[in-house]
Chain A
C-alpha cells in the first residue's frame, strides 16, 4: 500500500501524536454540564412538579420520553447531513461524525421505546400496541440498527463509510414516507401536545422540566458525540500504526 493511500485512509495521521488521547477540557465541561442540567430537570419532573390529573404519576415518564425522541431525530439528521458531506468531500472526519451520531441516536431511540412501553403498560394496559407513533419509532430503530450492522459487516472501513452514507441518505428520506404510511394505517397515540397549532396544551409548570431535560440531553448528546469522535480518531491512529509496522516488518 502506497503512502498516499495510507494518508487518505487516516485523515488524522498528520496530527500531533498525543492530540485526542484524553478528553478535551471543553468535552469535560459539556459532560459535567449535561449531568447537572439533567439532574435538575429529572428532579423537577419526578419530584417537584405535580402529577398529571388524569394519568397520575406515570405521566412523569414523558420528561425523559419526549426529549429522548426529539434528540434522537436530531442525531439522525446529523447522520444525514454528515453523510452527504462525506460523499461530497471524502473526508473521513465527516464519516466519524455520522457513525458516532447514529450510535447515540440508536441508544436514544431505544430509551424512547423502553419508556414508551412502560408508559403504555400503565395507560393503555399493554406493553406494546401498533399505534402509529410507536410503530414509526420502532421502524426508525430497525433502520439505524441496520445502519450500524452494515458498517460492522463491511470488509474495509472505506467501503463501510460509503455504504453507510448511502444508507443514511436513503433511510432519512424514508422517514416522512414511513410517517405517512403508518399514520394512515392507524393512530391511537395521544396527539402531540406541545408542537401543535394553538399553542401547547401542557401546563406551563410541566414545560419547565421538559425544556430543562431537553437542554440536558442536547448537552449529553454533544458530549457523547465529541467523545465518540475522539474514539474514532484513536482507532484511525491505531490503524495507521499497524500499517506502518506492517510495512517496516
Chain B
C-alpha cells in the first residue's frame, strides 16, 4: 500500500472513531437511548409470555423467532434515535461541515448503532435464557456470531434509512415500514441459523444462512456509504 493510500485509510478510521466517540459520549452522559432500549427489551420479553401463554414447550419451539423479534424491535428503537440529536439541535449542517469524506460519518454512526444494539442484545440473551428456561450458555459463541452478523446487516441499512427518515414527516412510522421489508433476508437468515444452533446442531448446518448473512452485510456495507452522500446533501 502506498503511503498516500495508507494515510487515507488512517484518516477515515480516525474520523470514524471521532464520530462514534461523539455518539458514545453523548449516550454515556444522557443515557437516554440505551436505557430506553434495555427497558423496552425486558418488556418485550415479558409481553411475549403473556401473548403466548406460559407453556414452556410451546415457547421453546418459537424461541428463535421471539429472540430475534426482541433484538429487532429493540434495535429499531435505537436506530430511530440515531440522528435525533442532530435533527433536534439542527446540527446536520455541522455534521456535513466535518472535514473528510461522508463515509466516515456513515461508518461512525453505524459503529455506534451496532454498539448500542449489541449492548442491548447482551442483556436480552441471558434474560431470555432465564425467563424461558433455555440452555443458551453452551451455544453462546455461535449465537454471538449469528447475532453479530444479523445486527450488522440490520444496522447498516438501518443507519442509512434513519438518516433518510430523520427529515421526513411521520419519521417514527417510516423507518420500520422501510427497514423491515428490506431486511427480510437478515431476519430469515438470523432466525433460521439461531434455530439450528438452539436445536443443538453444528454451526456448519446453518452454513448457507451464515453465507447469506455475510453476503448481505458485505453488499450493503459497500453500497450504503456510497449512496449515503446523497441522503445527507442539503
Stretch of A5-13, A166-174, A195-203 with 4 or more beta carbons under 8 angstroms from chain B:
A166-174
Q: How many A-B pairs with Cβ below 8 Å?
A: 83
| Structural contact, A165 and B230, CB atoms closer than 8 A | yes
Known contacts: A153-B170, A181-B212. The answer to whether A170 contacts B182 by CB under 8 A is yes
Give B179-203 as 1s and 0s: 1 = Cβ < 8 Å from A's Cβ atoms: 0111011001100100000000000
With contact pairs A146-B177, A162-B233 given, residues A174 and B169 touching in the complex (Cβ less than 8 Å): no
Nearest Cβ distance between residue A158 and chain B, in whole angstroms?
9
The answer to whether B12 has its CB under 8 Å from any CB of chain A is no
List residues of B (52-101) whose CB comes within 8 Å of A's CBs. none
A167 CA / B231 CA spacing, docked (Å): 10
* In contact, B182 and A150 (Cβ under 8 angstroms): no
Which secondary structure dominates where chain B touches chain A?
helix
Nearest-neighbour CB distance to chain B for A97, whole angstroms, equals 18
- List, in ascending order, chain A residues with CB within 8 A of B177's CB: 146, 149
> Does any Cβ of A come within 8 Å of B30's Cβ?
no
| Chain B residues proximal to chain A, CB less than 8 Å | 157, 160-161, 164-165, 167-170, 174, 177-178, 180-182, 184-185, 188-189, 192, 208-209, 212, 215-216, 219-220, 223-224, 227, 230-231, 233
Q: How far is the CA of A163 from the CA of B182 in the complex (A)?
A: 15
Asked if A180 is at the interface of the complex by the 8 Å CB criterion, the answer is yes
Indicate if the CB atoms of A174 and B227 lie closer than 8 Å.
no
Whether A166 pairs with B169 at a CB distance below 8 angstroms is: no
Q: List 7 A-B contacts (CB under 8 A).
A: A142-B180, A146-B174, A166-B164, A178-B185, A181-B189, A181-B212, A184-B209
By a CB distance below 8 angstroms, the chain A residues around B231 are 162-163, 166
**Chain A interface residue count: which class?**
20 to 34
Contacts of A166 in B (CB 8 A): 160, 164, 227, 230-231
Is residue A206 contacting chain B, with contact meaning CB distance below 8 A?
Answer: no
Are A185 and B212 closer than 8 Å at their CB atoms? no
Q: Answer whether residue A87 sits at the interface, using C-beta atoms and an 8 A cutoff.
A: yes
A58 an interface residue at 8 Å Cβ cutoff? no
